[in-house]
Amino acid sequence: MTTVIQLTINGMAIGAIYALVALGLVLTYKATEVLNFIHGDLLMASSFIGWGLIVVLKWPFWLAVLATVAIAMVFSWVLDARVMRLIVGQPQFAGVMLTIGIAFTLRGLVSMSFGPESRNYPTPWTNQKTQLGGVVIADLSLVIVATALLVTLALFWFLRRTTLGVAIQAASQNQLAAFLSGIRVKRLTSLVWALTGGIAALCGLLLAPTALVDISLWFVMIKALAAVVLGGFGSIPGAILGGLLLGVIEQFAGVYLPDGYKDAVAYLVLIGVLVLWPRGLLGDAHGRRV
């Protein structure tokens, strides 16, 4: 029984990361109709920037976190305002290809400037554990779940309760009407990019201590895509549910299934959902209004 609880909690922690990454993907997708492949590499680059600030420049941890998030936000804003805006009106495919190209460029830049070796940085929670009724939880896991929860709640509050957030929803539902209502759609799009960039940076900084600061960190985006499909494409609650579920499934698969399934199970889930239940768990029942 303890094993099951332990696995569930570990799974939730890694799943919370998947959920946050998936949340960023869905947010950009809903607001701009672009599947943003830069997300994973920005996450990876942010972990390197965080390492540079904490280990090389010896900045305090929290300051480094803030600075990294700010850098990622500014980068994403500029990327949208200067690059992505140029292909507005092109087929969706163009946006996907453009982001893939930028993602590879970013990966190359990181690899060139930092070198290929993995590294690590200390956090206030490294090697700390909390005992909760027989279950041992790494503090890092708690921090990850708490951050994911906070970011999600803040985002929901922003999108539902603030005028700017409702305007973002409006622009994604009917862009023409949004323009004609005087909503600064282009700026809002850049704002969404900045927000998702910030989320990617947070994810990178949270994920790196559980593994290592490494180029391969961008792979988490593929897992997040599986989470997005599992939860229902375009649904924000679905992305979060899908991420958490996927994390838990992976943990259980790692213990109860033969070796090697742990890494494959996300893709098996992806294939299974697409074949059997393409709408996903919480996909839009009403379809898309054109």
- Residue 128 or 162: the one with the smaller Cβ distance to other proteins is 162
User: Is 243 exposed, middle or buried, given 0-12, 13-18 or 19+ CB atoms closer than 10 A?
Assistant: buried
Q: Give the nearer residue to other proteins in terms of CB position, either 92 or 169.
A: 169
**Whose Cβ is closer to other proteins: residue 111's or residue 174's?**
174
Q: Which is nearer to other proteins, 176 or 275 (CB)?
A: 176
Asked if residue 289 binds other proteins (CB under 8 A), the reply is yes
Query: Which is nearer to other proteins, 63 or 177 (by Cβ)?
Result: 177
d(CA 43, CA 219): 10
Is 18 in contact with 246 (CB distance < 8 Å)?
yes
What is the spatial distance between Cα 290 and Cα 283, in angstroms, rounded to a whole number?
17
Q: How many CA atoms lie within 13 A of 141 on its CB side?
A: 19
CB of 191 to other proteins, least distance (A): 14
Per the CB < 8 A criterion, the answer to whether 110 and 44 are in contact is: yes
Binding residue count for other proteins, defined by CB under 8 A: 19
Question: 144 to 203, contacts with other proteins by CB under 8 A?
Answer: 163, 166-167, 169-170, 173-174, 176-186
Contact 217, 258 (CB under 8 A): no
CA distances from 238 to 22, 96, 121, 179, 270 (A): 9, 22, 32, 29, 14
Burial class (CB in 10 A: 0-12, 13-18, 19+), 88: middle
Q: Which is nearer to other proteins, 180 or 276 (CB)?
A: 180
CB of 160 to other proteins, least distance (A): 10
Shortest distance (Å) from residue 178 CB to other proteins: 7
| Min CB(187)–other proteins separation in Å | 9
Q: How far is the CB of 89 from other proteins (least distance, A)?
A: 12
Shortest Cβ 117–other proteins spacing (Å) = 48
Binding site for other proteins (CB under 8 A): 163, 166-167, 169-170, 173-174, 176-186, 289
